[in-house]
Amino acid sequence: MKQKVLLVGLLIAALASVAAFGENFRLGASVGAEMLNPPTYESILQGFDRPAELLSGFYWEVLLDHVGFGMTCLADFQEMDSPYPQLDSLWYLDWVGSLDLRYHFFEDFWLDPFLEAGLGSAGRVDISAYEENGLPAVDSPLQLSLFGQVGGGLALRLSGVHFGARLLWRVGNETPPATQFQPYPLKSFRVDLFGGVSL
């Protein structure tokens, strides 16, 4: 329930930005391959050839001249075999979210190269129905990390539609200060394909 409320809140915030900024607003979807090592052409092809391992989500961005700021929200529900006879499956929710700042080299041109930096959070939570099936709750249901990222990409802007690709390098992956969470095993690189509308 909390996840649905959060998602609705983010969508409302995005729609409010549309009303406030008019044609300087972008909203879209993205899908990308997460990689431990610097990507090569072969590793990118292999990453996108495994749909079950791709992490997808949505993004929004508000543009003010050459500078854009916004948010990226990626999530994945994973079903795993259960060691308990009472449960058919274990369920986990993985997420990677970031606040993004981008510099677009051209303000009004169909080709849109950009650089970006951001701060984010990544985590995994065990959402299996233990207590509902007479099992004790897990001791450590959450992995959580904070990270920074830098990268760049290239998009095409065509009559209110944009699509492109970007490469991100995650800098650091640390648990929040003064917490006892286990760090999320975030991979160091992401190759992302994205597309959406410019309103």
Instruction: Indicate yes or no: pTM above 0.85.
Output: no
- Smallest Cα–Cα separation from 168: which of 59, 62, 65? 59
Is the per-residue pLDDT at 82 higher than 80? no
- Amino acid found at 74: L
Complete domains list, the chain, with CATH? 2-198 (2.40.160.20)
Taking the alpha carbons at both ends of the chain, their separation in whole angstroms is: 30
pLDDT in tens, 3-62: 555 555 655 555 554 444 445 899 999 999 999 999 999 999 998 998 878 899 999 999
Phi, psi for 16 (deg, rounded to 5): -65, -35
**Tell me, what's the pLDDT at 103?**
97
Predicted confidence (pLDDT) per residue in 135-183, tens digit:
766 666 688 999 999 999 999 998 889 999 999 999 988 988 888 888 8
Instruction: Output the CA–CA distances (angstroms, integers) from residue 143 to 85, 111, 146, 149, 191, in the order listed.
Output: 25, 39, 11, 19, 23
Both tokens assigned to 54: 């791709």
